């Protein structure tokens, strides 16, 4: 792919001066409208597809280096996930780019009303470390499909993946318009001093507030994909063995370092012990002896994060698991009971393989527990009875819901994904991602004939009454 030599395309960006130069350069590229056409968008998406397919082994190795992520998890949750997003975007891109016609009331006829999705401009994606490839590139798919210039800031906490993105993408994508910028918090802060047309951030609530504050100085719209304490409610009458297997699968994939992971379980008191027994059987079956040595269970991102999880464990009684080693960044799949709602275990997002199980007697009691922690990113409900899960959905606000399973509400490309309240702002995936990185521009088009003299002053009483009748009758 031929690139211009402006701004030393593809070179590493480190200093504040280089970041400033890059932002000016990307702005000029966007203003040339190079990225707005269908051909450019399609080509970049196809090149991104090639990167994922041709560099698969490198991706698997990078994720393993960063936190021993199992190959199967990397393929399904990172590579295949992104390939699906790209396939959907390529399949629907022409239709997404077309003007959308809306109804024009008779009183404004003749004329045509429609809106078009125009690119935002120059956008910034600040990615999190827990799914370092997916969270760097899934927003990029939407931003490219919408025709934007883009800066990708991967997480420094996953250095092997960040290096692969920085070194690898420039061989596939138009590095005049799409750039990867590596670095820590100081680089992110420097980027946020510049005006972008949209900022997309995935990470903690604390940092999300800082991003929102920085973007507000330029009145830049933001999408914040945060987190929170996503509950899993298990109602009596549920197939307990199935529920337990699905909870264990969803909780311990990526060693619990998933923003939509079930943070804790609320189970009706009558089936509490049955569920605890089933959860332990499921853990033994999926993560029994040797799973760590076989590479079937991910590591924790850092020693500091292990020590944080070790402290959180003190907030409950360990039913199973509990083993950990900071030096090797390992924490066993762990279930805890006797958890105080005021403990850090229930006040902070866990983001690790610790699963508190809390009994409740009435639906109202369960709702009160969930509400005390703010609006979660995900709500999981296991119940065979429609009135039960509709009750919980009606009384608990959340970004998304999955009934009798977990995580899949975020895996369906046609479903908008995002938070609510403290769990986030905005949506993406599929069409909703395309619209997030677009500006919807309203258009009404008329000819110069016929001309309606009634619209112009002066307005006498008879003329005013006639116009009133026409407007009331023809909506």
Identify the sign of the CA torsion 93, 171, 134, 52: positive
Q: Are 223 and 418 in contact (CB under 8 A)?
A: yes
Structure tokens at 51: 């990167």
**DSSP letter (8 states) at residue 323:** -
End-to-end Cα, the chain, rounded Å = 53
- CA–CA dist 373, 370 (Å, integer): 6
Identify the sign of the CA torsion 320, 323, 324, 330: negative
Of the candidates 141, 144, 169, 125, the one whose C-alpha atom is nearest the C-alpha of residue 9 is 169
Please state, in angstroms and as integers, the Cα–Cα distance from residue 299 to each residue in 262, 289, 328, following that order.
Answer: 18, 16, 8
For 188, phi and psi rounded to 5 degrees? Answer: -60, -45
- Specify whether 225 is catalytic: yes
- Specify whether 259 is catalytic: yes
Q: Are 99 and 443 in contact (CB under 8 A)?
A: yes
Structure tokens at 457: 């002053």
Task: Please list, in sequence order, all residues whose beta carbon lies within 8 angstroms of the beta carbon of residue 335, skipping any fewer than 6 positions away.
Answer: 276, 279, 280, 283, 318, 319, 320, 321, 355, 357
Structure tokens at 471: 């407007």
* Per annotation, catalytic residue among 78, 259, 349, 402: 259
Please state, in angstroms and as integers, the Cα–Cα distance from residue 407 to each residue in 3, 103, 117, 247, following that order.
Answer: 40, 38, 30, 10
Chain centroid to Cα 109, Å, comes to: 42
Q: Which strands sit side by side in the sheet containing 334-337, from one edge to the other?
A: 317-320, 334-337, 354-360, 264-268, 231-234, 378-382, 400-403
Q: Annotate 336-390 with DSSP letters as a single string.
A: EES--TTSHHHHS---SSEEEEEEESSHHHHHHHHHTT---SEEEEE-S-HHHHH
Alpha-helix residue ranges (DSSP H) falling in 119-204 = 134-145, 159-169, 185-191
* Per annotation, catalytic residue among 73, 78, 85, 225: 225
Of the candidates 404, 361, 388, 383, the one whose C-alpha atom is nearest the C-alpha of residue 236 is 383
- CA–CA dist 433, 443 (Å, integer): 22
Task: Enumerate the active-site residues.
Answer: 225, 259
């Amino acid at each position: 792919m031929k690139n211009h030599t402006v701004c030393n395309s593809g070179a590493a960006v480190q200093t504040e001066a280089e970041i400033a130069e890059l932002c000016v350069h990307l702005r000029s590229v966007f203003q040339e409208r190079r990225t707005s056409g269908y051909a450019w968008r399609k080509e970049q998406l196809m090149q991104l597809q090639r990167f994922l397919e041709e560099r698969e082994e490198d991706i698997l190795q990078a994720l393993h280096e960063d936190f021993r992520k199992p190959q199967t998890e990397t393929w399904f949750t990172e590579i295949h996930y992104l390939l699906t997003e790209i396939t959907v975007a390529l399949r629907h891109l022409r239709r997404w780019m077309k003007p959308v016609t809306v109804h024009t009331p008779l009183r404004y006829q003749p004329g045509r009303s429609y809106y078009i999705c125009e690119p935002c401009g120059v956008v910034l994606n600040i990615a999190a470390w827990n799914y370092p490839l997916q969270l760097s590139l899934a927003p990029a798919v939407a931003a490219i499909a919408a025709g934007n210039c883009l800066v990708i800031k991967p997480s420094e906490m996953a250095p092997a993946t960040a290096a692969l993105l920085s070194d690898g993408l420039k061989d596939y994508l138009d590095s005049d318009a799409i750039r990867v910028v590596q670095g820590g918090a100081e680089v992110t802060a420097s980027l946020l001093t510049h005006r972008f047309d949209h900022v997309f951030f995935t990470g903690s609530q604390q940092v999300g507030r800082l991003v929102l504050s920085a973007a507000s100085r330029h009145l830049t719209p933001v999408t914040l994909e945060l987190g929170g304490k996503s509950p899993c409610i298990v109602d009596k009458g549920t197939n307990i063995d199935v529920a337990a297997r699905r909870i264990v699968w969803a909780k311990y994939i990526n060693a619990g370092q998933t923003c939509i992971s079930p943070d804790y379980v609320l189970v009706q008191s009558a089936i509490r012990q049955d569920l605890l027994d089933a959860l332990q059987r499921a853990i033994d079956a999926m993560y029994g002896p040797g799973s760590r040595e076989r590479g079937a269970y991910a590591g924790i991102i850092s020693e500091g994060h292990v020590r944080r999880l070790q402290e959180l464990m003190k907030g409950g009684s360990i039913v199973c698991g509990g083993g950990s080693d900071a030096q090797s960044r390992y924490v066993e799949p762990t279930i805890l009971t006797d958890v105080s709602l005021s403990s850090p275990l229930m006040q902070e997002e866990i983001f690790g393989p610790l699963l508190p199980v809390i009994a409740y007697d009435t639906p109202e009691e369960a709702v009160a527990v969930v509400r005390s922690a703010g609006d979660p990113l995900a709500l999981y409900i296991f119940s065979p009875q429609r009135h039960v899960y509709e009750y919980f959905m009606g009384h608990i606000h959340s970004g998304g819901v999955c009934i009798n399973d977990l995580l899949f509400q975020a895996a369906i490309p046609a479903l908008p994904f995002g938070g609510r309240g403290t769990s986030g702002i905005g949506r993406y995936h599929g069409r909703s991602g395309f619209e997030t990185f677009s500006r919807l521009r309203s258009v009404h088009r008329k000819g110069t004939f016929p001309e309606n003299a009634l619209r112009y002053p002066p307005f006498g009483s008879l003329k005013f009454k006639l116009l009133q009748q026409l407007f009331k009758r023809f909506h």
